[in-house]
Structure 1
Amino acid sequence: MSDVPQSRAILPEGWPQPRGYANGMVAEGRVLVTGGLVGWDAQGVFAQGFVGQLRQTFLNIRAVVEAGGGRVEDIVRLTWYVTDIATYRTSLKEIGPAYREVFGRHFPAMAVVAVTALVEPEALLEIEATAVVGA
């Protein structure tokens, strides 16, 4: 695996620089797609609160990507499903530090979607990730 980044953010000319995400990504390599990951640990115990579950979900994403031979910098898309959009919005100041602790300053394309429920009743959020592992 090369140390040269295999992906880059896309910013159309004249668009404002997004904060905390990319509008699009282009990458070369093998595609790694996660299932919907939630904020529980290896024993199936959920972290406490929205930000706690979010941080654990980030750690779980990183673990899957690394197990697949990738790095967090290979992640090109995150799709978040949250059960309470108001909690997401009021947690933004805490989300940033939790995100950067796990992923650093790598900001792929992202979407946040409000849903009424998730399969795991205790889950407050679920995130799917797509990574392109270097050629």
Structure 2
Amino acid sequence: MTAERVNPPELSPPTGFSHAVVATGSRLVFLAGQTALDPGGTIVGADLPEQFERALTNLLTALKAAGGTPADLARVTVYTTDLAGYRARAPELGRIWRRLAGRDYPAMAVVGAVRLWDEQALVELDGFAVLA
């Protein structure tokens, strides 16, 4: 995939995301929502950063199995049941993102949710990637 990250100067400077991603490739991968489920189907992680790390790891595992890499991510949506907590811990969550996925940020959104499919889940990530 070739990806052009577009961040117009007329918009606020992006931190941990890109305003737009122009992706060129031949294969789309749609990634289902991933929470902090372990292989046995149990939510792991006592707090938001622990669950975010596991959910992102799960998302990247699905992407890798489909033949992609973190740089192929064009769009990710984060759903959280604790939006205030997400904002407060954004620097820590950003460090987790950079460690696992690097600095080729996709277009992103964070959405507050009353609850997720698994009641214990604090965060869920879904998205799509464009592969060459």
Task: Select 1:85's aligned residue among 75, 80, 83.
Answer: 83
Q: What's the CA shift for 1:84?
A: 1.1
Equivalence for 2:48: 50
CA separation in 1, counterparts of 2:104 and 2:36?
A: 20
Task: Select 1:35's aligned residue among 7, 32, 48.
Answer: 32
- 8 A Cα contact 1:41 1:47, kept in partner: no
Could you give the per-residue CA deviations for residues 15-70 of structure 1, whole angstroms, max 9, x where no partner exists? Answer: 34311100011112211011111012222232221100000111111111110011
Calculate the TM-score normalised by the size of structure 1: 0.90
Q: Unpaired segments of 5 or more residues in structure 2?
A: none
CA separation in 1, counterparts of 2:50 and 2:129?
A: 23
RMSD over aligned CA atoms reads 1.3
Could you give the per-residue CA deviations for residues 79-133 of structure 1, whole angstroms, max 9, x where no partner exists? Answer: 0110011111111121111111101112110000001011101100111111001
More strand by share: 2
**Matched length:** 130
Q: Unpaired segments of 5 or more residues in structure 1?
A: none
CA separation in 1, counterparts of 2:106 and 2:126?
A: 12
The code of the aligned residue for 1:78 comes to: V
SS of residue in 1 equivalent to 2:34: coil
CA separation in 2, counterparts of 1:53 and 1:99?
A: 12
Could you list the runs of 4 or more consecutive aligned residues of structure 1 that deviate by over 4 angstroms after TM superposition? none
The code of the aligned residue for 1:44 comes to: G
Q: Give the direction of change, closer, same or farther, for the CA distance of 1:90–1:14 in structure 2 (3 Å limit).
A: closer
Q: Share of identical aligned residues, percent? A: 32
SS of residue in 2 equivalent to 1:36: strand
